[in-house]
Structure 1
Amino acid sequence: MSETLTPPPSSGAPAAVPVAVATRRDLRRTWRILAAIVIPLGPLAVTFMRWVMPYWTDQTTDEAVPIMADNLGGMAALNWLALLGYPFMLLGALALGFALRRRVPVLATIGSGVLFMAYALGAMVGSSDVVAEAMLRAGYDDATVVDVSTLVMDHPTGLVGILAFVFGHLLGLILLGIAVARSGLVHWWVGVLIVVAQPVHVISAVLVPSRALDVIGGWGATTLGFAIVALAVLRTSDDEWDAPPLPREEEQAY
């Protein structure tokens, strides 16, 4: 009986190169917690801004400036809240879109994108408040402050920024509210609450001026809706939140 012998491997054949798989740090839990924190902080900041602002949004500049002059402390609080709140408004818009992206990708992308851009351009809205407070503290008379504030707001970039903010944040929040209602992440009524809060905000800001209605039923309701979504994000598993990090392959030669 014959046997087939397998020749030994040639000494010149290349040696096998083992591959060591190194894992990257999994930060999904950290990102999820941070997202849950920033989601409600933006609308919460706006709620406090609407509460402390000395004037109201249905008033003309001629009417608002004397009120500002009598309450510079309120103007300072408004401007500091804007400074601290705007970063969280921007981050919260993106974080909410990220939280909804796997459930309602189109609505989440468009809604968060529109809201982010509206908030970014909203810096033009607050600039006139800073100008007015600075000039009043420097001792300028009301008429001069009115003229300069009007020039700032009527400048083409200021006008475009203000209009983009006003219409953009309303549209973005309505789209995100619809996304929340359809996502299944929370009960549908949470999304409806966010949607309904926007016309309430418009009504209380201009049509039937009411600080209490806006603080409670407008931005207050928006904050509540965002906070409920944030709690749902905290309860979401890491695997549902995002895919795990990819392994890092490192070749190690003998």
Structure 2
Amino acid sequence: MEHESRTETMGRAAAPATGRPLRDVRTFWRFLLAVITPLPLLAQSLYQLLFPDLGDGDFAGTLNGVAAAPGMVGALQWVGAVFTVTLVPATCTVAWVGRRGAPRLATAGALVAITGFLASALLPNDHLLALVTLRDGLDRGVVTALDQALWANPVVAVASGLWILGLTVGLALAGAALWRSRVAPAWMGIALMVAGPTHPFIPGHIGSAAGLAVGAVGMAGAGVALLRMRDDEFDLPPGGRA
């Protein structure tokens, strides 16, 4: 009797104070994350494909490239914003989907990738800096010196290393987890596993864009897995505080 009474009390405590059932939004989250997963690498692929040829890799070359098509560069900043905003949730989704079939790989991939992606917030945006310099008539020599000083800062140097590590090693581990978990077609996990570490080193902006597109298809594997899942496989149902 005491056990039954205690169970009933916990059940009443778990119910909402208003007596209304909690709304189950697991389907909403599954579909939202399924849509998000391919977006970051797809957006960055488009950015790489459409950005003007910069010529030399220094800031002077960036200024010349931006000057050739300032309208395009301005529009592409919004595409870059999609990449920045969706990259972490998309990576978390890939790790979440692969965590049951390959928990260690998924955890390692998430830790390395997300650390690098968060660190990238410390990196200067040379393209935006060049765009503002040209639009507002700022002194090119002063802004060039500022850009060089920013990249020489030790914090930026560390952030740059973490960013590259997250993009190459982190995404490769996440792709391996997606492949090992067998929750999506194996080739999609392999696509992310291969594209992550290779696309930064493919010569030319078209080659880099193609590598990113392959990676986007790989990340979309997590979305495929989410759409195949039932809500109970995705997460626990809503419940009040006991």
What is the TM-score with the length of structure 2 in the denominator?
A: 0.83
1:51-70 paired onto structure 2 within 5 Å: 51-55=49-53, 59-70=57-68
1:144 counterpart = 2:142: yes
The equivalent residue for 2:121 is: 123
* Alpha-carbon distance in structure 2 between the residues aligned to 1:117 and 1:229: 20
The equivalent residue for 1:3 is: none
* Alpha-carbon distance in structure 2 between the residues aligned to 1:103 and 1:58: 45
User: If each structure's helix is expressed as a fraction of its own residues, which one has the higher value?
Assistant: 2
The equivalent residue for 1:30 is: 28
Change (3 A) 1:170 1:57: farther
Asked if the contact 2:168–2:198 (Cα under 8 Å) also holds between the matched residues in 1, the reply is no
Asked if the contact 1:115–1:169 (Cα under 8 Å) also holds between the matched residues in 2, the reply is yes
Asked if the contact 1:38–1:88 (Cα under 8 Å) also holds between the matched residues in 2, the reply is yes
63-72 or 239-248: bigger deviation: 239-248
Question: 1:152 deviation in Å?
Answer: 2.0
1:1-254 paired onto structure 2 within 5 Å: 19=9, 21=12, 22=15, 23-55=21-53, 59-204=57-202, 209-216=203-210, 218-246=211-239
* Alpha-carbon distance in structure 1 between the residues aligned to 2:69 and 2:124: 17
The equivalent residue for 1:12 is: none
* Alpha-carbon distance in structure 1 between the residues aligned to 2:146 and 2:179: 44
**What secondary structure is seen at the aligned counterpart in 2 of 1:50?**
helix
* Alpha-carbon distance in structure 2 between the residues aligned to 1:57 and 1:168: 27
Question: 1:222 deviation in Å?
Answer: 0.5
Matched to 1:51, the amino acid is L
* Alpha-carbon distance in structure 2 between the residues aligned to 1:167 and 1:57: 26
Question: 1:192 deviation in Å?
Answer: 1.4
Question: 1:182 deviation in Å?
Answer: 0.3
Aligned-pair identity in percent equals 28
What is the TM-score with the length of structure 1 in the denominator?
A: 0.79
* Alpha-carbon distance in structure 2 between the residues aligned to 1:158 and 1:82: 19
* Alpha-carbon distance in structure 1 between the residues aligned to 2:89 and 2:138: 37
**CA deviation map 1:162-210 (0-9, x unaligned):** 2211222211110011111101111222211112213431222xxxx22
**CA deviation map 1:64-84 (0-9, x unaligned):** 222222222233133222223
Change (3 A) 1:144 1:247: closer
22-31 or 91-100: bigger deviation: 22-31
Question: 1:242 deviation in Å?
Answer: 1.9
Matched to 1:110, the amino acid is A
**What secondary structure is seen at the aligned counterpart in 1 of 2:37?**
helix
Gaps of 5+ in 2: 16-20
**What secondary structure is seen at the aligned counterpart in 1 of 2:143?**
helix
The equivalent residue for 1:6 is: none
Matched to 2:52, the amino acid is P
Asked if the contact 1:128–1:153 (Cα under 8 Å) also holds between the matched residues in 2, the reply is no
**CA deviation map 1:210-237 (0-9, x unaligned):** 2222212x10001111123312211111
The equivalent residue for 1:7 is: none
Question: 1:111 deviation in Å?
Answer: 0.9
Matched to 2:176, the amino acid is I
